[in-house]
Structure 1
Amino acid sequence: MRDTASETARLARAGRQAEQVPSITVCLVTHNRPYYVRSCLDSLRVQTVGLDGFDVIVVDSCGTPETGAALREMVATLPNARLLRVDRPGASAARNMGAEHSTKDFLAYLDDDALAMPDWIERIQEVIQEHAPGPASSAARCCRSGRSRCPTGGRKACVACSRSSNGTEAASSAPRPSPPGLSPMA
């Protein structure tokens, strides 16, 4: 005999999964390292969810004009990518700009010198669907820093910290750990 509560929860999760796949924006911040960005974008180009399964925001953080030109060329080859520039130095300012310009449900940060595994986006979506963050997670709180305001302006749930705004674990019991370089914000 099956446990009816766990069976009901399993069916509810399956129903939510069939309803909607979480939308993801990958935010890639760089400062004068187009040679790394090329490889990083190439790893995103082969994601199992396809290029229409996520967006990419590349943020040029105070790069030289030559870097800007190289990034424009690279981003132009990806239909799901766009390039932003921030003239204020620092990774935080660039990441915040990426978060502000994201229109998706969740934001995944990827370092410019990192390579995403081919199923990286798919795995992020699976963890989000499995844990099905509800409405309580729409107002974000960054639990790593303890700040009450998230860089996304509270528009998205904080997945990087593995907590939703109500303090419950959102993604920490995922069956597989996130790949190195993963710092998704939502």
Structure 2
Amino acid sequence: MASLGNSYGELGQTARAIDYYEQALTILREIGDRQGESADLVNLAEVLVDEGRYPQAIQRALEGVRIGDEISSTSLGSYSNGYLALAYLYASDLPAARAAVEAARQHDEPQNNHYVLALLGVIALRQGDRSAAQQAFAEAVAQADALLAHTAQTTMRWMSRGWSCAGWSCVGTGRICPPPSKPIRPRGRSTKMPES
């Protein structure tokens, strides 16, 4: 069910994605799969952000954070706090967004660090903290490039790199975003939380 939610979310069919995530959530809770439940809540939060339903997205992301903390999952800590930060950002609650993204940074998840850092850069820039934004964007580019050097399969890594390069120009560093260390060919579209 969650995979169908991911697929419909990628297609922009958010109502169907939400329906499948809700069905998956019921099943995951019935079988006691806490890891899967938290991952589903995180994906559901992302789609709710896409729908502009920020209070619900925040609620679902907070549930994911709580479960991630309960089961001591670094991956869930990174993803759930990251999507919580995104929901707060879109809800225009910049202090809460900054706190959530800083919490996400405390969970070293190599597959998601680039996203968290790019998001931190955007939030810091919105808060007028140009120095923190510049540092976050530089780190996000380095993290994305390190992953892209191994595989260019996901759009999310390219998006993080793009946000960060754009952010560099917004903070007025006078530097141009460095090209990747080797040629990279994008493939795939996955941007969702990996399933357990």
TM-score by length of 1: 0.31
Q: Which structure features the higher share of helix residues?
A: 2
Structure with more contact order per residue of length (Cα contacts < 8 Å, sep ≥ 6): 1
